[in-house]
Amino acid sequence: KATLSWHNMRTLQECREACGGQGLKTENRVGHLKAEYDVQSTFEGDNNVLMQQVSKALHGEYLAARKQNREFKGLWLEHMNEPGPVIPSQLTSSSLRSSQFQTDIFFLRERDLLNRFAAEVAVHQTHGRSKEHAFVLGHLLAEDLGRAFADKAILLAFIEAEANVSTGPLKDVLALLRSLYALIILEEDASFLRYGYLSVENAAAVRQEVMKLCSELRPHALALVSSFGIPDAFLSPIAFDWIDANSWSSS
């Protein structure tokens, strides 16, 4: 809920700006949708609080696995049972687009943040603070960890869906979309640089690759949007002949 409602508002803002003044017109409904869906960021749970709750669940599994000396299970934490992934010191275009690299670095981020969060909570508790208070004091790491979990879940779902598509043009386009999603996360989430998962040089390579992916996806943009099958009745004038829609009637 948190991830998708944040994405919803960001998408609407991108649409508003991309449409210029047309994005402000009531008949094009972008402003109406922004006003209607903004409440989702706090409705049925503030998004930041929800991210902290995700971190609490991950922390619970972490403690259970450590105390019982067992493997991690559930919450897609099974990767914690394997040795930590090693990220190449120099990333190329092909490695950046590799689903293996993308899952590795998403796993690395979640693994490290979970370890950091558990350690921080433990330190606060040794200083006499309650578990609940310790969670509150560790809210910055908790929010980073919650986002890492959500990003990982989306990437894994994408890879699973992509694997079920036969080899061909559609699979190629899905691979581009998956890479674009993963690399935008790498580019925009400061935790990859903050905690050293990416070097400055590799972060620059990620940014360049995002631009290349956008160029490669551009010819497919209309087909991708059309694939959602949105009925014309749901679309605004700007989706059709916007020049005619803004012309004065000659009658």
Identify whether 247 is part of a domain: no
Pair 93, 202 in one domain: yes
> For residues 204 and 199, what is the distance between their CA atoms, to the nearest angstrom?
9
Tell me the per-residue pLDDT of 139-161, one tens digit each, with 9 for 90 and over: 999 999 999 999 999 999 999 99
Clarify whether residues 117 and 15 are in a common domain.
no
120 and 203 fall within a common domain: yes
Half-sphere exposure of 64 (CA within 13 A, CB side): 12
Task: State the Cα angle at 85 between 84 and 89, rounded to 5°.
Answer: 130
Q: Closest Cα to residue 179, out of 150, 205, 209?
A: 209
- Predicted structure pTM score: 0.91
Residues 146 and 168 in one domain: yes
Q: Is residue 236 part of a domain?
A: no
Say whether both 13 and 107 belong to one domain.
Answer: no
Total domain count for the chain? 2
* Residues 102 and 197 reside in one and the same domain: yes
Report pLDDT for 241: 85
Question: 141 and 23: one domain?
Answer: no
Query: Are 89 and 26 contained in the same domain?
Result: no
Which residue range is the domain that position 110 belongs to?
46-230
Q: What is the pLDDT of residues 210-230, one digit of tens each?
A: 999 999 999 999 999 999 999
Q: Would you say 152 and 108 are in contact if contact means Cβ atoms under 8 Å apart? A: no
In a domain, 235, yes or no: no
Query: What percent of the chain has a predicted confidence (pLDDT) above 90?
Result: 80
- Does 131 lie in the same domain as 26? no
**How far, in Å, are 18, 57, 155, 170, 171 from residue 61 at the CA level?**
43, 7, 21, 38, 35
| pLDDT of 59 over the 90 cut | yes
- Domain end marker among 14, 29, 45: 45
Tell me: do 41 and 83 sit in the same domain.
Answer: no
